[in-house]
Amino acid sequence: MKDYRIEDFIDVLNSDAPTPGGGGASALAGALSAALCGMVACLTTGKKKYAEYQDEIDEIIAATKALCVKMEDLIEEDAKAFGPLAKAYGIPKDEPGRDEVLENALVAAAEPPYRIVETAGEVRDIIVRLADIGSRLAISDVGVAAALCSATAKGAAMNVYINTKLMADRKTAERVNEDTRDLVRSICSDCDAVYNRIKGDLQS
């Protein structure tokens, strides 16, 4: 899927194909968020006004490149995890071992979207910092990155919950749900704060 052109990805998403789906779309939003952060950092680097932050800006540029690749890989991983789950659902309900196969597939399918949420947390950390040290000429893009990062976390969480809801092991399901909720709450709180702060500055 990483080889898709933008229009190809959107066309497949806008079809009856099971993948990419919400998880892949969320990871794409995360990649866009990270890329916007990278753009802001690139527009900040080398400027006298921000010279005291140069080392940190260099680190951000490198980090955003890595995060873009990580999110792109998670699009692929999310799609691959759906295959075994679809096969598990196709096993006759009276076939021995079906429940175990399905449970394992549900656990595996919840892993990529959970990692998307985790990775959104890394992007969030950069967004929070760029809100302070990024070029003011590109500060609106930090706000857009914040909005996309929040959407990434919320969207990926939906793909965690749809799998945990059907798990037989409710203890594991509730643990994953709780961890996901805590991450999403933290990410969205920070991203919303950055977005609202930038919006207020631009509207004043």
CATH number at residue 23: 1.20.120.680
Mean pLDDT, to the nearest integer, of 176-198? Answer: 98
Omega of the bond leading into 20 within 30 degrees of 0 (cis) = yes
- Predicted confidence (pLDDT) at residue 1 exceeds the cutoff of 80: no
Contact present, 88 and 105 (Cβ < 8 Å): yes
Token look-up 């399901």 returns 173
Q: Does 192 reside within a domain?
A: yes
C-alpha distances in Å from residue 105, one per residue of 109, 137, 155, 172: 6, 47, 20, 14
Cα–Cα distance for residue pair 182/109, rounded to 1 Å: 20
Domain count, the chain: 1
Give the number of other Cβ atoms within 10 Å of residue 156's Cβ. Answer: 32
Q: Does 1 reside within a domain?
A: no
Cα–Cα distance for residue pair 98/164, rounded to 1 Å: 17
Mean pLDDT, to the nearest integer, of 163-168? Answer: 97
Owning domain of residue 29: 6-203
* pLDDT at residue 3 in the model: 77
Mean pLDDT for the chain?
96
